[in-house]
Amino acid sequence: MNKKLTEKLAPGHSTCAGCGIPSIVRTVLGATEDPVVVINATGCLEVTTTLHPYSAWKVPYIHNAFENAGATASGVEAAYKVLKRKGLIKKNVKFVAFGGDGGTYDIGLQALSGMLERGHQVLYVAYDNQGYMNTGGQRSGATPMGANMETTPSGKESFGNQTDRKDIMQIVAAHHVKYLAQSNVAYIEDLAKKAKKAFETEGPSFLLVLQPCTNVWKYPTSQYVRIGKLATETNFWPLFEIENGKYVLNLDIKKPKPIEDFLQTQKRFKHLFAPENVEVIKTIQKNIDRKWKELLKKTSNK
């Protein structure tokens, strides 16, 4: 394996075959030359990299609890600020917090909000696999409409998850963060570029990265890049950034593929193709079209 790639997160971690989380971590951490300290919410990344007495981390790392990565990062960064002021630390250090969508959209939202609002110099990266995958695939506030999840299973009376995901980008943007971006592990260069920008930002920055989960989305492990790409090609997951309040579209999909192309690749959506759920797919497509129009309005600066 490329030595440069693994100099911060070593091989030997135990993420699932076909999991993109290590790629996200390595790409983000590889975007700075400065030393980094990692703060991690409870979740897939944490349990697969820190199994005592081993650790895959070659950089300083702290896991505290599920809902408090934002607060923990605030404390670490405040410690750095004061110790640097006192001349006890000479180097410039970067702080990166990683959380899953549960630790970001849901249980960790308050701590994240506090961290953003107070202006801590931290890059917060949410790897978004659209549910609580570390506990076996329950719905979160990031789960898309129609997904068959452990706590919102499809059945005679239900098409699965009833609501569309929370717009976490707008929530973070409302904190007047100077740089935030939506990215996708299937577009690794886009992610690297955004991580670099985020590291250069004054104050907090935020990256939301789509992370297809082979276990719960239920698709063959070899397919995560393809499925990630389909998410963007169908406008299910557009790539954009918000820099100093200005929206920028990073990939203009001129001819978006129908959402069925994305849905049919994963067993979590299989039930939607039953005759009684035709309308659900139509609603999903309608929502995607509406959100895409809204995004285009913002990115065209009208």
One residue of 12, 81, 276, 289 binding other proteins per CB under 8 A: 81
The span from the CA of 3 to the CA of 34, in Å, is 17
Backbone angles phi, psi at 207, to 5 degrees: -125, 130
Q: Which is nearer to other proteins, 80 or 187 (CB)?
A: 80
One residue of 12, 35, 220, 258 binding other proteins per CB under 8 A: 35
Q: Which is nearer to other proteins, 90 or 255 (CB)?
A: 90
Q: Is residue 53 reached through a cis peptide bond, with omega within 30 degrees of 0 on the bond before it?
A: yes
CB 207 to other proteins: min, Å: 20
The answer to whether residue 21 forms part of the interface with other proteins (CB under 8 A) is: no
One residue of 7, 16, 17, 78 binding other proteins per CB under 8 A: 78
Q: Which is nearer to other proteins, 108 or 146 (CB)?
A: 108
Distance set, CA 41 to CA 44, 143, 233 (Å): 9, 19, 30
The answer to whether residue 86 forms part of the interface with other proteins (CB under 8 A) is: yes
Whether 230 and 25 have beta carbons less than 8 Å apart is answered as: no
Site size for other proteins (CB under 8 A): 46
One residue of 25, 73, 208, 239 binding other proteins per CB under 8 A: 73
Those residues with Cβ within 8 angstroms of residue 272's Cβ, 6 or more apart along the chain or in another chain? 146, 159, 160, 263, 280, 281, 284
The answer to whether residue 80 forms part of the interface with other proteins (CB under 8 A) is: yes
Those residues with Cβ within 8 angstroms of residue 125's Cβ, 6 or more apart along the chain or in another chain? 24, 28, 96, 97, 98, 99, 195, 206, 207, 209
The site for other proteins (CB under 8 A) is made up of 35, 37, 39, 46-47, 50-53, 55, 57-65, 67-68, 70-83, 85-86, 89, 91, 93, 110-111, 113-114, 117-118
